[in-house]
Homo-oligomer: A and B are copies of this chain.
Amino acid sequence: MQSRFISISEYPKGTPSRDIFQLQEQDLPDLGEGEVRVRNTWLSVDPYMRGRMSGQRTYIDPFELNAPMEGAAVGEVIESRSERLKEGDKVSHMGGWRDIAQLPDKAVQPLPNLDLPDQAYLGVLGMPGMTAWAGLNRVAELQQGDNVLVSAASGAVGSLAVQLAKAKGGTVVGIAGAKEKLEWLESMGIKAVSYRDKEAQQLTADLKDACPEGFDVYYENVGGVCLEAALNCLRRDARIAVCGMIAHYNETQPAPGPSNLAALIMHRARMQGFIVADHWQHYAQFLDEVGPRVAKGEIEHEETVVEGLEKTPDAFLQLFEGANRGKMVVKL
């Protein structure tokens, strides 16, 4: 059986160009004992994947050149030599960026039994959702009534973070760019602040307008001017959960960091980086807490859909242009 997949031909510097991505085909080997074949129906593209294109080991191995890339995907088992999984089972796994994945069954999880579209397990109930939940609860130790600031607040992670934070009763402010993203945030009861064309000083002033008391928690996805402004608006004992710094992922030269890190001293604040994989043993707790609320429609989750395996690189590159609202997914 043939599998079509996307690979990269070189490790890019700066913003990856479209032409480093190739669509290739390979013959799959015979199915081994304990393996399954999955026809992928949805693929995930996520900002963290840029880090795997650096050619260097960070917290995870780099993508191999000219080999199938990896990423979260959901699909349906079409052939099984596993006792755990049978033909027709809907599953999630990390064999994305391809149409047919062949994997050992221990690398494949059946989808939970909730009344939700399959691709929800790539977004609000998948890695991005878990990232929002773990960052707020396990890293920033979110408390009832906390004032919370979220950057990239309409993205896959941010859009859940603002809603989880809002449910705790404090003032929640989201930073975003495009007008429709700001409107979406406002429609959810989130105070929306644009970062566009602003220096840190102006963004600081706008954040102080939105929440004069300051923030107990900052959920950081962006870096750059957002971090500098946020540091100016902390309350005492604030916690910053550093999930990502997308502003810097495509930089070819290191850009200077915030000039006001000493704010951490004045506010006795804590800034902590995290990787969602380290918290995965709590995924079941996350699913128990958040899954039913998503199924009941209490939590909104938007997605931006691109169709076709060959369009996966385009979907990925659009993440860095701020083109997505909610989770960016590829439908096969």
Contacts and interface: CB of A to CB of B under 8 A. Distances in A.
A269 B260 contact: no
A260 B254 CA distance: 7
A242 B264 contact: yes
A255 B262 CA distance: 11
A129 interface: no
Task: Give the interface centre of A227, A261, A263, A273 by most chain B CB atoms within 10 Å.
Answer: A273
Contacts of A58: 266
Interface string A238-280: 0000111100100000111111111111111111111100100
Given A245-B262, A256-B257, A261-B245, A271 B271 contact: yes
B264 A272 contact: yes
B275 A223 contact: no
A59 B262 CA distance: 12
A272 B270 CA distance: 4
B262 A248 contact: yes
A242 B260 CA distance: 13
Nearest to A247: B262
For this complex, into which size category does the number of interface residues on chain A fall?
20 to 34
A249 to B, nearest CB: 8
A257 B245 CA distance: 15
Contacts of A268: 272-275, 278
Contact of A272 (B258, B269, B275): B269
How many copies of this chain are found per oligomer?
2
A275 B266 CA distance: 7
A238 to B, nearest CB: 10
A58 B248 CA distance: 31
A40 to B, nearest CB: 28
Interface in A172-205: none
Contacts of A269: 272-273
Interface of A: 58-59, 223, 227, 242-245, 248, 254-275, 278
Given A257-B258, A270-B270, 14 more contacts: A59-B266, A223-B261, A227-B261, A242-B264, A255-B259, A257-B257, A257-B259, A257-B260, A265-B274, A266-B275, A267-B273, A268-B272, A268-B274, A271-B272
19 contacts: A58-B266, A223-B261, A227-B261, A242-B264, A242-B265, A244-B265, A248-B262, A255-B259, A258-B261, A262-B273, A263-B273, A264-B273, A265-B273, A265-B275, A268-B274, A268-B278, A270-B270, A270-B272, A271-B271
